[in-house]
Amino acid sequence: MTIEAEGTITHQSFGLGVWALTASDTTYELFEPPPELQQEGLMVKVTGNVRDDMMTVAMIGPVLDIQSFEILGS
């Protein structure tokens, strides 16, 4: 399922750490986020696919495979 979401990038310290997008309605675990998005507190708008076919160690929310993004600020 493809979605568009706006929110803040956060780094969660589960295991080796995981990058997440905290949106208004949910927190998404980012699947292999590009280096440009690996910045705590970054405000972004992303388009991507929710991966229902995988589980993770952190299990902080749906896994989001980013297809495109726009940086809105920091």
User: What is residue 13's predicted lDDT score, i.e. its pLDDT?
Assistant: 86
pTM value?
0.89
Q: Does the pLDDT of residue 72 top 90, yes or no? A: yes
pLDDT, tens only, 17-57 = 899 999 999 999 999 999 999 999 999 999 999 999 988 88
Beta bridge partners of 63: 29, 51
Check which CATH number belongs to the domain holding 36 and give it: 2.40.50.140
Indicate the number of domains in the chain. 1
What is the span of the domain harbouring residue 26? 2-73
Q: Does the pLDDT of residue 14 top 80, yes or no? A: no
3-class DSSP assignment, residue 40: coil
Q: Does the pLDDT of residue 64 top 90, yes or no? A: yes
Q: How far is CA 45 from the centre of its chain?
A: 10
